Amino acid sequence: MSLDDQFNKAVEDVKELASTPSDADLLEIYALYKQATVGDCNTARPGMLDFKGKAKWDAWNGKKGLSQDDAKQQYVDKVEALTQSIGKK
């Protein structure tokens, strides 16, 4: 199975987790997904009162320089770890 196939499967698998992952895990998944699909962060940091938006932006910006293939592999690995620890629906 190619890396793109594994990534696409992981994107579907994350929707089937038995419970919601922790906030830290959600931010990690978000950042890796954005880095894998878009590349380096290309937007301005959200305003001071947008706490959720800033947290997401900071997480994604923290992946700057990571190649899209490396981000896909890390995403697949993270979802597999969450699937093992949380389980599927």
How many domains are contained in the chain?
1
Domain that holds residue 43: 3-86
pTM, rounded to two decimals: 0.93
Instruction: Count CA atoms closer than 13 A to 34's CA, side-chain side.
Output: 20
- What residues contact 27, with CB distance under 8 A and at least 6 apart? 55, 56, 59
Nearest to 11 by CA among 89, 66, 83, 67: 83
The CATH number covering residue 14 comes to 1.20.80.10
Give pLDDT tens digits along the chain (89 positions).
Answer: 899 999 999 999 999 999 999 999 999 999 999 999 999 999 999 998 999 999 999 999 999 999 999 999 999 999 999 999 998 88
Task: Count how many residues are written for the chain.
Answer: 89
Nearest to 69 by CA among 45, 46, 36, 42: 36
